[in-house]
Amino acid sequence: MRRIAGFFLTLVAGSALAVESVMPLDDVAVDVFDKESLRRGAVTYANYCQGCHSLKHLRYSRMAHDLKLEEGVLERDFLRGQAKLQDSMLSAMHAADAERWFGVAPPDLSLIARSRHPDWIYSYLRGFYLDPSRPNGVDNAFFRQVAMPDVFASLQGAQRPVIKKGGGVEAIVGLKHVNQGALPPEEFDGMVADLVNFLVYAAEPAQLDRLRIGKYVIVVLIVLAFVLYRLKQEYWKDIA
């Protein structure tokens, strides 16, 4: 209970400080029917996120079916260690170890795209900047005093905050690269967008069926409404 309370206190404190930032959220295009994007995002999650964060509500088998993953790709990129096809996508890190290293256990990401807007997740993942006063050497423009390290630092490159002072208040108005990462900015942004797209899918895998079937249901309802309207006209024709 104390661990959960500690996490939410950290979340509330970080959110309160993030209000002081005047940086707008960046827009990200989400399309859960883009299977290539989902596959790329899934690989990014497995390589950079799953070490700490689980997706306990998503099974490897469901992901493999929805994303049309070949067996060889699944075994190479996802089924590591003792993981099996029917298992949930869990992190190998123990919560006690994570709390000792980071001060708080990393949250499960199954529903992150429902509790946070995709634009916020996209901005947050690209919003780390150098801060020597923090334990991990970084802070985040959208989640101040964040406990998470910058896992994409080698790909994005280091950033420093652009601070504007006025009325005795300092506010972060932007971020500026200190050095270039391994990926060009456009390619890095695309990688993060794919990851966000995958997290949106992971929050509700059934939406692939719901959205696909939904348009046909609407068409059927429109046709049914038209038939019922004509039937009503026939019934009331003689009465009128």
Binding site per annotation, positions for heme c: 49, 52-53
Q: What does the alpha-carbon distance between residue 26 and residue 127 come to, in Å, rounded to a whole number?
A: 10
Q: What does the alpha-carbon distance between residue 49 and residue 194 come to, in Å, rounded to a whole number?
A: 13
Q: Report the first-to-last Cα separation within the chain, whole angstroms.
A: 70
User: Which of 200, 155, 152 minimizes the C-alpha distance to 55?
Assistant: 200
Q: What does the alpha-carbon distance between residue 69 and residue 36 come to, in Å, rounded to a whole number?
A: 10
Annotated binding site: 49, 52-53
CB of 165 within 8 A of CB of 135?
Answer: no
**For residue 147, is it left (φ>0), alpha (ψ between -120 and 50) or beta?**
alpha
Amino acid at 200: V
Q: What does the alpha-carbon distance between residue 88 and residue 85 come to, in Å, rounded to a whole number?
A: 8
